[in-house]
Amino acid sequence: MRKKIALGLAAVMMVAGLTGCGNKNPYIENITYSDYVKLCDYKGVEASKVTYEVTEDEVQEAINEDLYEYVTYDEITDRAAQNGDCANITYTTMIDGEESENYSGEGEDIVIGEGYIFPEVEEALVDMNTGDKKKVDVEISDDYAYEEDDVGKKATVEIALNEISQENMPELNDDFVKENTDYKNKAEYEEVKRKELEQSKEDEYRSASVQEIMEFLLDNCEFNGYPDDLYKQCEENYNNENAYNAAMWDMELSEFEEALGLDEETKKQEIETSVNAELIIGAIAQAENITCSKKEIQQYIKDNYADYGYESEDEFLEDYSENDVGYQITYEKVTDFLYDNAKLTEMSEDEYYEQQEAFNDDSEDDEAEEEVQE
């Protein structure tokens, strides 16, 4: 599957305006951004910087994900199912006397004991033989509920065990690496995986810092309207992004937006936030004379087209123009500038995830309070 190119704060495509006189950067809109936004002091913004390490367990987990491509399965016919076995099951869940599609499945593969399905069902599978059927009473907990209203409900699950099999994970050694990868030996392969994880964490936590900086700027800059064309472009990008995500979840757009609580007023607010973010990026680019060259664009395409799932640079350019890439590079340069000039306070990964959990809890409390008030 092709990856979407990440353009702009909302990670959506921003089509740059046509080049005009007076604009030193042809890859942003041809407007004077300071007419629409009065920037606060964008240098020295306080933000968090997560310090991290890559553990041996994380490296092994990443390697195991790769090894799963080479896993084989042996069907078990001479004994009953045990914890750790792979089981192919069909199950039907009845709630209040009616079948629930959300909690039913046909021909699904699970690993017994790893929490793929209701704990009562996984416990019941132990000692069942291929072809056996069983009914189990369960209580839907928060961990397994599709809908919040389902939490605490009683249900009856009818299980059919279609097949039991045992997973055979290949051994990671020099011979396996030489035969199945482009690396010389196990040590080199493990080192590459470690560096990939380090880069992934670096990107994730740097992005979190930039998001924190952008939230400060959105709260503290002063805005004076916006060009209609810029709003229309951000609106189109926003709608396209929602449609893309809905399709990824195999949902209708209206169903997806309802699930996220996106009414017309909320969508308008989010689009305006995207517009304001674009105004900030453009204003800083103009204030700091940040631009990019055609050579940089050509190099970006050469370095990245394969990462986005394209076979060639020409194929990449069928979907994305040089203007699109020029905006992407400009955006990255501006956010790099903000990050490099920020006042960063270090925090550990544990502290970061505790902070995120507390933020999510506060958001859920705010939503619950709003529902009560309504």
In a domain, 269, yes or no: yes
Which domain-ending residue is among 141, 168, 195? Answer: 168
Could you give the angle at the alpha carbon of 302 between the alpha carbons of 18 and 26, nearest 5°? 15
Which domain-ending residue is among 136, 168, 200? Answer: 168
pLDDT tier at 161 (50, 70, 90 boundaries)? Answer: very high
For residue 117, give the CATH number of its domain.
3.10.50.40
Q: How far is Cα 121 from Cα 228, in angstroms, rounded to an integer?
A: 56
Cβ atoms of 285 and 28 within 8 Å: the answer is yes
Which domain-ending residue is among 117, 134, 168? Answer: 168
189 and 308 housed in the same domain = yes
Q: What is the mean pLDDT of residues 124-144?
A: 93
Sequence letter at residue 118: F
Flag whether pLDDT at 19 surpasses 80. Answer: no
Flag whether pLDDT at 18 surpasses 50. Answer: no
Flag whether pLDDT at 313 surpasses 70. Answer: yes
Sign of CA dihedral 94, 98, 101, 106: positive
263 and 287 housed in the same domain = yes
In a domain, 4, yes or no: no
Q: What is the mean pLDDT of residues 266-277?
A: 95
SS3 state at 324: helix
Flag whether pLDDT at 373 surpasses 80. Answer: no
Domain housing 98 = 72-168
Give the distance from CA 58 to its chain's centroid: 19
115 and 223 housed in the same domain = no
Could you give the angle at the alpha carbon of 333 between the alpha carbons of 289 and 326, nearest 5°? 85
258 and 365 housed in the same domain = yes
Written as six digits, the tokens of 259 are 């699930």
pTM: 0.75
Written as six digits, the tokens of 2 are 């092709």
In a domain, 232, yes or no: yes
Phi/psi at 157 (nearest 5 deg)?
-115, 125
In a domain, 259, yes or no: yes
Flag whether pLDDT at 277 surpasses 50. Answer: yes
145 and 48 housed in the same domain = no
pLDDT at 20: 31
Q: How far is Cα 215 from Cα 273, in angstroms, rounded to an integer?
A: 10
In a domain, 297, yes or no: yes
pLDDT tier at 10 (50, 70, 90 boundaries)? Answer: very low
Q: What is the mean pLDDT of residues 82-109?
A: 92
Written as six digits, the tokens of 283 are 């204003």
47 and 195 housed in the same domain = yes
Q: What is the mean pLDDT of the chain?
A: 88
pLDDT at 13: 33
Cβ atoms of 349 and 51 within 8 Å: the answer is yes
Flag whether pLDDT at 227 surpasses 60. Answer: yes
- Of all residues in the chain, the percent with pLDDT exceeding 70 is 90
140 and 265 housed in the same domain = no
In a domain, 5, yes or no: no
In a domain, 345, yes or no: yes
Written as six digits, the tokens of 182 are 């482009």
pLDDT at 150: 85
Question: What is the b/e burial string over 62-90, where b = at least 16 CB atoms within 10 angstroms of the residue's CB?
Answer: bbeeebeeeeeeeebeeeebeeebbbbbe
How far lies 129's CA from each of 74, 76, 82, 113, in Å? 15, 10, 10, 16
For residue 306, give the CATH number of its domain.
1.10.3120.10
232 and 311 housed in the same domain = yes
pLDDT at 144: 86
Flag whether pLDDT at 17 surpasses 60. Answer: no
pLDDT at 25: 80
- Name residue 166's beta-bridge partners: 74
174 CB burial (10 A radius; 0-12, 13-18, 19+): middle
Q: What is the mean pLDDT of residues 123-129?
A: 95
Sequence letter at residue 263: D
Q: How far is Cα 29 from Cα 316, in angstroms, rounded to an integer?
A: 23
110 and 162 housed in the same domain = yes
pLDDT tier at 96 (50, 70, 90 boundaries)? Answer: confident
Cβ atoms of 225 and 36 within 8 Å: the answer is yes
In a domain, 243, yes or no: yes
Q: What is the mean pLDDT of residues 338-359?
A: 92
Instruction: Check residues 112 and 363 and name the one with the higher pLDDT.
Output: 112
pLDDT digits 0-9 by tens, 41-55:
999 999 999 999 999
Flag whether pLDDT at 366 surpasses 60. Answer: no
Flag whether pLDDT at 21 surpasses 60. Answer: no
pLDDT digits 0-9 by tens, 188-213:
999 999 999 999 999 999 999 999 99
Written as six digits, the tokens of 64 are 């195991």
146 and 213 housed in the same domain = no
163 and 279 housed in the same domain = no
Instruction: Check residues 1 and 179 and name the one with the higher pLDDT.
Output: 179
* Count: domains in the chain: 2
245 and 323 housed in the same domain = yes
Q: How far is Cα 313 from Cα 40, in angstroms, rounded to an integer?
A: 40
**Beta strands 86-95 and 98-111: pairing type?**
antiparallel
Which has the closest alpha carbon to 241: 5, 51, 45, 2? Answer: 5
